[in-house]
Amino acid sequence: MPITVSPETYTYVSFDAEVIRRIADDLVRALGMQDRTITIDVDETTPLVRTRLTIDGDAIHINADSGAFEDTRLPRQQSEAATATALGRVLLRASDRLTGGFGEAPADDQLTLAQVAAWETYCIGRLERLGIAVNRQRWLYNFRNRHGFTDGGDTAFDQLWTNGGLTWGELCAISDRALALKAAH
């Protein structure tokens, strides 16, 4: 299970490739993905918070803009918590697609904003149960922005946050119910 991080040395941000590799290794072990080859390419020239995933057989390729690993209070400085959260989300999406009943999920660039918010909620809840420090309120707010500020939306959030064995169809059904309640208000 090789994990490759590039670049090895950073010019524009104060990141450490070995820290990224260690965090990825810890996550890969916790998620049971040791049989996968993981490549992480960091674009240090942009402060965006975007991560992109490509799966090719047993190989997982992650492209991350440096903002995804950055400390929000210290620009251009790496945050281990942000790195763990960003890598954990994308590795869980990969795991879901490869082994978790998400085979029929559209490609990432074809997902609706509500589907992205629901899937991220599902991933972050699982990361929290793995012991990764997360900001629950941040993700609740993100979910509410897409699914409405309703009791039904909060119930849907809790279902996604606390569940560990959903399929794509089940995740979409929870999201769709919350969207229907939002539309009814």
- Backbone φ and ψ for 142, nearest 5 degrees, come out as -60, -45
Provide, rounded to the nearest whole percent, the portion of the chain with pLDDT above 70: 99
Maximum distance among all Cα pairs of the chain, rounded to whole angstroms: 52
Q: What angle do CA 157, 27, 35 make, to 5 degrees?
A: 120
- How far is C-alpha 55 from the geometric centre of its chain's CA atoms? 15
User: Using the 8-state DSSP alphabet, how is residue 44 labeled?
Assistant: T
CA distance 100 to 180: 26
> Tokens 């995804």 correspond to what residue?
68
What's the whole-number average pLDDT of the chain? 95
Predicted TM-score (pTM) of the model is 0.93
Report whether pLDDT(163) > 80: yes
**pLDDT score, position 2:** 86
Dihedral sign from CA coordinates of 145, 157, 120, 184: negative
Architecture of domain 3-95: 2-Layer Sandwich (3.30)
pLDDT digits (tens, 9 = 90+) for 99-157: 878 989 999 999 999 999 999 999 999 999 999 999 999 999 999 999 999 999 999 99
Which are the contacts of 81, defined by CB distance < 8 A and separation ≥ 6? 132, 133
Provide the residue ranges of all domains of the chain, joining segments of one domain with +: 3-95, 108-184
Q: What is the pLDDT confidence band of residue 98, given thresholds at 50, 70 and 90?
A: very high
